[in-house]
Structure 1
Amino acid sequence: MILHAGLIACWSHGSWRGALIEGPSGAGKSDLALRCIDAGFRLVADDRTLIWRSEDRIYGRAPETLFGLIEARGLGVLPEPALAFCEVVLVAVCGPAERAPDPQAVERAGGQLPLMAVSPLEPSAPAKLRRAIEHLGARPKRAYQARRSASLWPSTSGDPR
């Protein structure tokens, strides 16, 4: 399935994990992707993203004709080093973001992904995306096991339950 969306990734939990950036034309998807790249993310796809599901995970990549390219409004289409593909763990929709939204999910390629709104032109948008990938996109079982193994659970009885 090809989506009108960009895909950027950051190294998190031992692998490249990505966020689809969705929104209407002119919403700031590529601008946000450029700022994320400057903040240490990697480009996977700009403007069009091919996604697929394998077992219980969703992956994405650029169509061959767009691989390694990103649009910079006012400059044109530019080459950019890109990852071949990554796991998609989050959908970020460009638009007004609530202060403390309720958790939401959206279906993509037959699977559920956490959904967040992001104001793409806010200076903090790349930092918010990184945190969302690390937290919203974390698989609950892994996060729970990591906390238990690190003995971060406060407990007076020695039993974290």
Structure 2
Amino acid sequence: MNEVTHQATCVAIDGRAILIEGEPGMGKTSLALALIDRGAALVGDDGVLLEQRGGRLWALPHPNTCGLIEVRNVGIAAMPCGEAPVALLIMLDHAAPRHVEGPTVTQRAGIALPSLTLWPDSPVLAIRAEMALSIHGLPSHG
């Protein structure tokens, strides 16, 4: 499969990518910045390329914005970026359920991904995202 452009922000933690989706202004980049501050690596901000490789979905930086992240009220910042297999999809939404049994399964570019909806205004959103990856994310290999 060829690469497809996908509207999302993406970071990688220990070689596993979190695809962050949500409406404009929901805090996708803010979550990415908080995760980067905690050791994550940027894949792409406000748009990535998705590609199937060996039955896994990979997120790659979009060539038009590779290494760039837009920091609201600050401007465009440059930072290293890379690619990684997507292990988890996080949707930011104020209607996120308080209790969940586990992740739902969401298709992106023909690949099933575990998916969770998180409330975007949490002061510990980055910690929740890391825990979600740890508990529900796809393994590094397989």
- Give the TM-score normalised by the residue count of structure 1: 0.79
Q: In structure 2, the residue corresponding to 1:66 is in which secondary structure? A: coil
Tell me the percent identity.
32
Contact 2:61 2:81 in 1 (8 A): no
- The number of residues matched between the two structures is 136
Q: In structure 1, the residue corresponding to 2:123 is in which secondary structure? A: coil
Cα distance in 2, alignment partners of residues 100 and 17 from structure 1: 25
C-alpha RMSD of the superposition = 1.7
1:127 aligns with 2:124: no
| Pairwise CA distance, 1:34 | 0.7
Contact 1:71 1:77 in 2 (8 A): yes
Moved more, 119-128 or 105-114: 119-128
1:118 aligns with 2:121: no
| Pairwise CA distance, 1:52 | 1.1
| Pairwise CA distance, 1:129 | 1.2
Q: In structure 1, the residue corresponding to 2:23 is in which secondary structure? A: coil
Contact 2:88 2:138 in 1 (8 A): no
Residue matched to 2:57: 58
Counterpart of 1:87, as a letter, is P
Change over 3 Å in CA distance of 1:22–1:100 after alignment to 2: same
| Pairwise CA distance, 1:108 | 0.6
Q: 2:84 aligns with which of 70, 83, 86?
A: 86
| Pairwise CA distance, 1:5 | 0.2
Unaligned residue ranges in structure 1 (runs of 5+): 143-161
Unaligned residue ranges in structure 2 (runs of 5+): none
| Structure 1 runs of 4+ with >6 Å offset | none
Q: In structure 1, the residue corresponding to 2:81 is in which secondary structure? A: coil
Deviations 1:110-155 (A, max 9, x none): 110011112233121111111221221134xx8xxxxxxxxxxxxx
Contact 1:31 1:120 in 2 (8 A): no
| Pairwise CA distance, 1:86 | 0.3
Q: In structure 2, the residue corresponding to 1:30 is in which secondary structure? A: helix
Q: 2:6 aligns with which of 3, 9, 17?
A: 3
Residue matched to 1:109: 109
**Which of the two has higher C-alpha Rg?**
1
Contact 1:4 1:47 in 2 (8 A): yes
The structure that is helix-richer by fraction is 1
Cα distance in 2, alignment partners of residues 68 and 37 from structure 1: 13
Contact 2:45 2:69 in 1 (8 A): yes
| Pairwise CA distance, 1:87 | 0.5
